[in-house]
Chains A and B, each alone.
Chain A
Amino acid sequence: MAEEEGEDELRRLQESVDAEPQNASHHFEIGRLLWKKGEEENSREMKEKAVESFVISARLNPNNSAAFRYLGHYYSQVTVDEQRASKCYLRAVNLNPEDFESGECLCDLLDGAGKESLEISVCREASERSPKAFWAFRRLGYLLVHQKKWSEAVQSLQQAIRGYPTCADLWEGLGVAYQRLGMFTAAIKGVEQFRRALEISPANISGHFGLSSALLGLSKECINLGAFSWAASLLEEASDVTEASTHLAGNYSSLWKLLGDIKIAFAKCLPWIEDRKNGENDQELFETSVQRWTRARVLSVQSATHAYQRALHLSPWQANIYSDIANSIDLMDAFDEKIGAPIDIWQLPEKMSLGSLMLEGGNSEFWVSLGCLSPDNPLKQHALIRGLQLDVSRSLYRKSGNEQLSKKSFDQARSIDPTLALPWAGMSVDSPASGESLASEAYESCLRAVQLLPLPEFQIGLGKLAYLSGRLVLGAINQAVQRAPYLPESHNLKGLSCEARSDNQSAIVSYSNALYALHAFCKPAAESQIADISINLARSLCKAGRAYDAEQVCDNLKTKGNNTCEFYGKRDLSLTEAAHLAKNIPGMDPSSGAAALGLICKLVYCSLGQDHAVRTILKSPRELLQSSKTSFLVAALCALDASSPLQSLLAKGLSKLSTAEIIDMHCLTALSKMLVDESHINSRILSAQHHLKKALHMYPDSGLIRCIPSRGLRSANEVIGSANVACCGSSTGKPKLSFSTCGGLSVPLSKTIHLLQKWLHEEPWNHTAQYLLILGIMQKARVEKYPPHLCLAVRRLLSSALAREIYSTGEKQHQLYQKFQLLLCSSEICLQTGDHRGCIGRATEASRLPVSCDGLFFAHLQLCRAYAALDDLQNIRGEYLKCLQQETRHEIGWILLKHLESRHRLRSSDEDGGIDVNFAACLKGNEQSRQMWAAAFDLVCAQSFVWDEDFLLAEQTLARACAVCMELARRQAGPRFLSLAIRSLTRAQETSAAPLPVVSALLAQAVGSSAAKEKWAKNLQSEWFSWPAERRPPEVYFQMHLLPEVHDAEPSRSRGSWVLRSIHMNPYSQRYWKALRKLMEG
């Protein structure tokens, strides 16, 4: 049937060809049909016939690439004319670069003829012409891999994979290319590619081989980076993969060798991981863990040796396997510590390396390994020299023990290849030998060496050097511990570096590990080492506050007859030590004497207290006090107790300090001024601030300190922040109507808030910063009459601050107080935003806190206000009574309470003047601002009388208030106010006046009413000037319009414009409008 159909079709096509002899496609179709038939029947004639048709078709339509392809097939398969075939294929490919069939055939032909470069150029051309010519990319990728042009190969292979995503070979090729690119990142990708390849064809041996060698490569990169546990996990996977593939095919020597390599690498890099139980180790645990670690490594090396032997068995002609075996045996010996075994003339490792040399005498590496392995010195030197002759870039003299030569060779080696770690390490070993001054140079080269090649020996060396030059290298030391846990040195160094970072817990663990290591692995443990480490251990135990343990360690040492004068863990022990030291002081040289004195002071202070410390210092020789550290001690003691007899000593000490020390000293002095005595808190803060400013003026550079975490300006920050808050707190009720009452507040509020924000940003965890910031913003919100956005911000800050753990668990008084303040702030914000329930909740919470002083008064006051806002009379009364019970020393509290009392008529008839009496008591204690408070209180009283419609009393009180105000004005406001104040005092009886700035206006009114027009004008003008320009209230403008046209204030202004301005500022006042209307009418 099929045949017949084919016949039919052929006939039909033949007819159409006959009908249109010029149509190329008909010819092509016939040709294709015939070719197919020819393929099926494998008849040459049929194919020849087909070719005739193709030739005709190609001639008619020279752009048909398929015709050329078939022609190519014909020439290559039937007539075997490669020349022509390739020409036809080339033509086909040129016409259609995506024609994979002809492309592949062409390349096969070229490949067969060995024309590689031609092949590449064909592929490249095709790939450039079409991004979909995947066959070309694939071919090109393979070829480039073959030619070892890795980076180009990667590009081509990636493109090809898009076309053939299931082709395992491609993935594998990409893997190889990445792996060979040699970059860390590339190696990671290489592993991925191999994994993909294996997913597609899981039984592919070369895929397995590639994957495991890629893993090996990656792990080597990891080791170079220092990521040992990562490398170990990679190597485990690699050895699994390799072992699996050895099961698939056990007769590849290269597989076995790879397995050996992997095992060796694993043994070398496996890190020792400390298994901590409850943070502490004991000897047994430590030993078993180290032994387990050693055993794992030995096992790994053993299996490596076996794998190498198999490899050698399979291909005994490969020289490098001999050398590998030699190396692995040597490594095993090193692990087993069989070095002490009797030395044969020809040891096994040596024999093996000789075997490799016999096969390849010209390989320098073999010579080197022989040199390293041979215990025989002359042979070693000979081998090394031989290696050096073959390859000059190695520096080997160090091992041959020739100091002089080694130095030269290191320098030379470094100049040849600066990325080799060994020369750097060698240099660092040499330089301390040649002098102490080079320690830092040694540190630098050692650091370089460690960075290039993280070997434990280098790292320990680095740790030692760093300790000498006072640097921290915890990273390196940690790795050293992982790699060489059997060396007590490494644990000890780790302990030291932990201790330097005041991580005492870890330090203790490390030191005890060091002791265990010392006992377990260094059999004839040196007494001095034990003593050193024990001392370290005891010290860190002391620092961690475990005096008892420390004492035990000391006792252990004492039984061995060591001098333990370093300890000050327990009280009596420390005192005896102190006494002992004190006896020795006169015999010491000044610097160590001073240090000893410092130590004694510390001891005495800790165990006996301040007074004794002071006495000790007074007794000690004066010249010892010259040193900076002692000066600090003295200053600190002075700060704690101002009346101490040490003050006289302080000045003497200052002369010898460096700038940085002086700045520190100034900070200390500032603090001491803050602590100085019981004077008013503001003045204390201000004096401290003043001192700091002076210090800053003297040392403007110390702005630097802000960058460095120094206590200095941080405390300054705190001082400024608190001063700001305190000042704002003490300024009177309505800031818009009053002047800044705090002269010391040099920084404007917004600036302070910025400073506080900066501080908080630098130390986000600092709750004091957050607390002060909240209070600062609270003040700002208050000044701006609680705008919603600020309220929202404060509320958010408050909620996050109150959630801090320190406030939920903190027991300390100042923490409680801060929490209390925050709760009150929160309550106030709730009140201002109309959330009365929240307000009451917060205030109640605050009132339950056990704060000392009179804080509770304010909590209840706040509750009063909250209930007042709700008009809940019952509760107001209750809270009011509680307030009266609690009492306070703060005048403002009583004033506010008075205000509330009168507002809501809380005063019951039976009690008389509870508030007044209390307030009077308050005033007695306050010298500085008594009058101010009295005036404010009087004002409130007057207000309350007005509410009570008791005008007579109100007038009297106001007059009193006014008088006081005048007095205040006289004191504060300078000469311009002076005469005015004196005059107004005489008239105080006649007037009813309000506080400070309004005074002259009222005076003017008073004068005006007594018909002295000139004086009235004068007063009014002085009122105008007494207001700062930006704060003049509308009323002043309004008053000004009453003045005659020409006056000093602003001569050009008409009366109308004064009124207009006042209306502009306060459009709600009917009076102004009326006056304006009058003016207009007039």
Chain B
Amino acid sequence: MKLSGLKSVENAHDDSIWACAWVPATENRPALLLTGSLDETVRLWRPDALETFWPSPSTGHCLGVVSVAAHPSGAVAASASLDSFVRVFHVDTNATIGTLEAPPSGVWGMQFDPKGNLLAVAGGSSASVKLWNTSTFELVATLAIPHSEQPRPGDKSGGGGGKFALSVAWSADGRRLACGSMDGTIAVFDVARAKLLHQLEGHFMPVRSLVYSPLDSRVLFSASDDSCVHMYDAEGKSLVSAMSGHASWVLSVDASPDGAAIATGSSDRTVKLWDLGMRAAVQTMSNHGDLVWGVAFRPPGGAGVRAGRLASVSDDKSISLYDYS
């Protein structure tokens, strides 16, 4: 289990890069890397050379792009910016399919469900997760996170106990949806019944990123500003283990397709690889020069592609690609 640097592109965007996601392979092309940046553009990259896929970067956002997500089919992707709307577009042509907005809800993290029927969007100060149908692009459901009874220590919004939804993750079987809040709690929803199951506690600072284990829909990983990575038993409502090692906020977490490792990006400017058997960091990559906002493992699939790939993006405007083996 190790990472080795393959390629790094300096100045891949004109400003800080804030989001990255892999677009799954389709029949006529391999998996591609999608990045979003403060320079208001979304760009698509061809691995392993990291050449741009589109002739010109995608525009359409007026403010920085905070989140990108790809449909499991690989044909469609979405990007969201600070001005609170989601642009959905064809990956191959970069043609806009539609814009999703549900004012006054903000838009932060988002993810398509594993079957590709729904898009979940963390609604920021609206304290809810919006579910959009991906064929009609209509708002299907709003999963609200209830107020906590007592103000939590991390609550900086000033409003008594109001949540701020930052991140979302779908479980591998598509039945559960987790949503990370600014106060460090993680709400777990039963999607079929559109019902809150419970809230996981353990973090005391904002939960920036969440990912379910690809193998088991009970296991949830979370990255928080308290510089810890937690592993939860999301059904049993218990904290399984806490992994510490980053020196500052953990901004992003992703689980490897084989389920044996996770990778994290932090504002201490490093990318760490964690062995889940040992529950310890086995490798630290420090090639970035500024906050690492996103890490993403390439999903398996595509013609003859077996090698694992990890991408990371950073405030230093660069993208790095690693071989994971």
Contacts and interface: CB of A to CB of B under 8 A. Distances in A.
A59 to B, nearest CB: 46
Interface string B145-180: 000011011001111101010100000000000000
Contacts of B278: 451-452
A503 B154 CA distance: 8
Interface stretch (A228-236, A286-294, A921-929, A1015-1023): A228-236
A72 B177 CA distance: 59
Interface stretch (A319-327, A672-680, A763-771, A957-965): A763-771
B103 interface: yes
A709 B124 contact: no
Nearest to B269: A707
Contacts of B291: 707
A146 interface: no
Contact of B206 (A452, A765, A809): A765
A707 B238 contact: no
Interface in B198-240: 202, 204, 206, 215-216, 218, 225-226, 228, 230-231, 233, 235-240
Contacts of B57: none
Interface stretch (B48-56, B82-90, B305-313): B82-90
Interface string B227-262: 010110101111111101000110000000001100
A803 B125 contact: yes
Given A229-B236, A757-B63, A789-B62, A803 B156 contact: no
Q: How large is the interface on B (under 10, 10 to 19, 20 to 34, 35 or more residues)?
A: 35 or more
Given A188-B216, A505-B150, A225 B157 contact: no
A796 B103 contact: yes
B144 interface: no
B28 to A, nearest CB: 26
A672 B295 CA distance: 41
A764 B159 contact: no
Given A709-B225, A764-B108, A800-B103, A793 B241 contact: no
Max chain B Cβ within 10 angstroms of own Cβ: one of A271, A473, A763, A796:
A796
Interface stretch (A474-482, A658-666, A839-847, A983-991): A474-482
Contacts of A797: 63, 82-84
Contacts of A227: 218, 233, 236, 238, 240
B72 interface: no
Contacts of B264: none
Max chain A Cβ within 10 angstroms of own Cβ: one of B64, B166, B248, B280:
B64
Given A227-B238, A473-B242, A754-B38, A800 B126 contact: yes
A1043 interface: no
A745 interface: no
B117 interface: no
A506 to B, nearest CB: 9
A800 B225 contact: no
B16 interface: yes
Interface in B85-99: 85
A760 B81 CA distance: 12
A763 B156 CA distance: 10
B115 interface: no
A758 B16 contact: yes
A806 B157 contact: yes
Nearest to A810: B158
Interface in A774-822: 777, 789-790, 792-794, 796-797, 799-806, 809-810, 815
A804 B159 contact: yes
B279 interface: yes
B240 to A, nearest CB: 4
Nearest to B81: A793
Contacts of B162: 805-806
A805 B315 CA distance: 30
A919 B149 CA distance: 52
Given A707-B268, A790-B62, A271 B280 contact: no
Given A188-B215, A766-B156, A230 B126 contact: no
Contacts of B225: 709
Contact of A708 (B66, B216, B233, B248): B248
Given A504-B153, A764-B164, A767-B158, A472 B235 contact: no
A162 interface: no
B142 interface: no
A805 B124 contact: no
Given A279-B150, A502-B153, A758-B38, A799 B103 contact: yes
B318 interface: no
A501 B202 CA distance: 10
Contacts of B230: 475
B299 interface: no
Contacts of A708: 248, 267
Interface string A474-493: 11101100100000000000
B106 interface: yes
Contact of A799 (B62, B104, B159, B290): B104
B150 A761 contact: no
A226 B18 CA distance: 33
B218 A230 contact: yes
Contact of B124 (A226, A482, A764, A815): A764
B101 interface: yes
Contacts of A473: 242, 244
Given A473-B242, A757-B38, A185 B63 contact: no
Contacts of A271: 238
A985 to B, nearest CB: 47
A226 B166 contact: no
B84 to A, nearest CB: 4
A440 to B, nearest CB: 14
Contacts of A815: 158
Interface in A445-471: 448, 451-452, 454, 471
Nearest to B315: A758
Interface in B56-77: 62-64, 66
B190 interface: no
Interface in A710-758: 754, 757-758
Contacts of B244: 471-473
Nearest to B230: A475
B83 A796 contact: yes
B283 interface: no
A757 B64 contact: yes
A761 B236 CA distance: 32
Contacts of A475: 202, 228, 230, 239-242
B182 interface: yes
A101 B151 CA distance: 72
B238 A503 contact: no
Nearest to A774: B83
B284 interface: no
B233 A230 contact: yes
A672 B129 CA distance: 42
A801 B159 CA distance: 13
Contact of B280 (A451, A502, A764, A789): A451
14 contacts: A227-B236, A230-B238, A233-B236, A475-B242, A501-B153, A754-B15, A757-B63, A758-B38, A764-B124, A765-B206, A800-B125, A803-B103, A806-B159, A809-B159
Given A707-B267, A709-B225, A804-B159, 11 more contacts: A185-B216, A228-B238, A230-B240, A501-B204, A764-B124, A765-B124, A765-B164, A796-B83, A800-B124, A805-B157, A809-B159
Interface of A: 185, 188, 222, 225-230, 233, 271, 279, 448, 451-452, 454, 471-476, 478-479, 482, 501-505, 707-709, 754, 757-758, 760-761, 763-767, 773, 777, 789-790, 792-794, 796-797, 799-806, 809-810, 815
Interface of B: 15-16, 18, 38, 62-64, 66, 82-85, 101, 103-106, 108, 124-126, 149-150, 152-153, 156-160, 162, 164, 166, 182, 202, 204, 206, 215-216, 218, 225-226, 228, 230-231, 233, 235-242, 244, 248-249, 259-260, 267-269, 278-280, 290-291, 315
The 6 closest A-B pairs by CB, nearest first: A475-B242, A803-B104, A793-B62, A805-B159, A793-B83, A229-B236
